[in-house]
Amino acid sequence: MSGWHSAPLSGTAVIEEGAQASLGAADHGPLDERADLLAHRRARRRARTRRVVTGLGGLVALVLLWQVAAMILSDQVALPSVIQTGSQFAHYLTRPYPAQGKPLWFDLYISLRRILFGFVIGVAIGVAAGAAMSASRVIRHLVDPVIEVIRPLPPLAFIPLFIVWLGIGELPKEVLIIVGVIPVMAITTVAALDEVPEDLRLCARTLGATRGYTLAHVQIRSALPGILTGMRIAMAGAWSSIVAVELLAATSGLGFLIMQAGDYLDTALVFAGIITIALAGLVLDGCLRGLLIVADPSRRG
């Protein structure tokens, strides 16, 4: 089962059969082996903390570099400093921007609402399609070519068409997200469900599970990390799609705000908007990654 780290990777199996070697020369009794497991987990936690701190350090260094570069360049329009960006962000967070009359938090809310609405529907349809394809060979052979044709197309190419069909309100933007999410989710769901070994299902049946119980608690549960990973990919695509469409064909949202700020050469606000987009994307991805860690214990390390 690729994606599931069930077999101990070399060097990461916690306790070797008989507790010989690996964890030092001292004699180990049964209770000490348990302590070894806990120590191993603690060590992994420490390593994880180190990774997070190092990552944050890298980001801080980047921000400092930016501030220094801005001070050297001394051109507020070309490269606003961190402080200028921060102050524009704070200023327009709650105050409406003159050109369109909405504060930043509202634009953020609008963008998020569009994304989440389209994402949830797209995931539901995509996963259902993937599950159907996995279950029935006929459906798979029918739907697969359609997906293969849609998938490489940038969803943005559909925007003029959607506007003609669906008007200029929220609907074309939602549909755009949905059309982008469905192929990704269908493909990853099929792959994830296919990967579940048949013997795993047979094993559950020989333990007394009914077919339905096996479907829910073994097959779908086993495919969950793959599906969540697909959701992360779909979310990244959806997020960049919505910002791009807001740049071109919207009157609200973060993309629109950036466009407006750019028109007025308010580069500090453009930066602030871009950073908001990046952080929002990071938070959304972080939520999904959190779910992924809950679903797949082997990734906790």
Nearer to another protein, 111 or 229 (CB): 229
Q: Pick one of 2, 27, 137, 145: the residue that binds another protein (CB under 8 A).
A: 27
Radius of gyration of the chain measured on its C-alpha atoms:
25
Q: Pick one of 2, 10, 17, 101: the residue that binds another protein (CB under 8 A).
A: 17
The binding track of 130-169 with respect to another protein, each residue x by CB under 8 A or -, is: ----------------------------------------
Structure tokens at 100: 């369109």
Query: Rule CB under 8 A: is residue 228 a binding residue for another protein?
Result: no
CB of 139 closer than 8 Å to CB of 133 = yes
Q: Cα–Cα distance between 216 and 159 in angstroms, integer? A: 38
DSSP assignments along 64-127, one per residue: HHHHHHHHHH--TTTS--HHHHHHHHHHHHHSPPTTT---HHHHHHHHHHHHHHHHHHHHHHHH
Q: How far is the CB of 29 from another protein (least distance, A)?
A: 8
DSSP run (H or E) holding 292: helix 267-295
Hey, what amino acid is at 63?
V
Nearer to another protein, 8 or 55 (CB): 8
Q: Pick one of 2, 10, 11, 31: the residue that binds another protein (CB under 8 A).
A: 31
Distances (CA, A) of 61 to 54, 65, 252: 10, 6, 33
Nearer to another protein, 17 or 98 (CB): 17
Q: How far is the CB of 224 from another protein (least distance, A)?
A: 8
Nearer to another protein, 98 or 208 (CB): 208
Q: Cα–Cα distance between 45 and 49 in angstroms, integer? A: 6
Q: Cα–Cα distance between 7 and 1 in angstroms, integer? A: 9
Query: Rule CB under 8 A: is residue 37 a binding residue for another protein?
Result: yes
Q: Cα–Cα distance between 109 and 115 in angstroms, integer? A: 10
Hey, what amino acid is at 97?
Y
The binding track of 259-298 with respect to another protein, each residue x by CB under 8 A or -, is: ------------------------------------xxxx
Structure tokens at 225: 């990390």
Query: Rule CB under 8 A: is residue 208 a binding residue for another protein?
Result: yes
Nearer to another protein, 21 or 72 (CB): 21
Nearest Cα neighbor of 111 from 259, 227, 230 is 259
Structure tokens at 115: 């994304």
Only segment of 27-35, 131-139, 155-163, 243-251 that touches another protein (CB under 8 A): 27-35
Only segment of 59-67, 176-184, 201-209, 262-270 that touches another protein (CB under 8 A): 201-209
Q: How far is the CB of 11 from another protein (least distance, A)?
A: 12
Q: How far is the CB of 3 from another protein (least distance, A)?
A: 10
Q: Cα–Cα distance between 271 and 174 in angstroms, integer? A: 26
Instruction: Characterise 18 by phi-psi region: left (phi > 0), alpha (psi -120 to 50), beta (else).
Output: left
The binding track of 40-79 with respect to another protein, each residue x by CB under 8 A or -, is: x---------------------------------------
Hey, what amino acid is at 85?
T
Q: At what angle do helices 221-249 and 159-166 cross, to 10 degrees?
A: 80
Only segment of 65-73, 103-111, 144-152, 194-202 that touches another protein (CB under 8 A): 194-202
Residues that bind another protein (CB under 8 A): 1, 4-8, 12-21, 25, 27-28, 30-31, 33-34, 37, 40, 197, 199-200, 202-210, 213, 217-218, 221-222, 224, 295-298
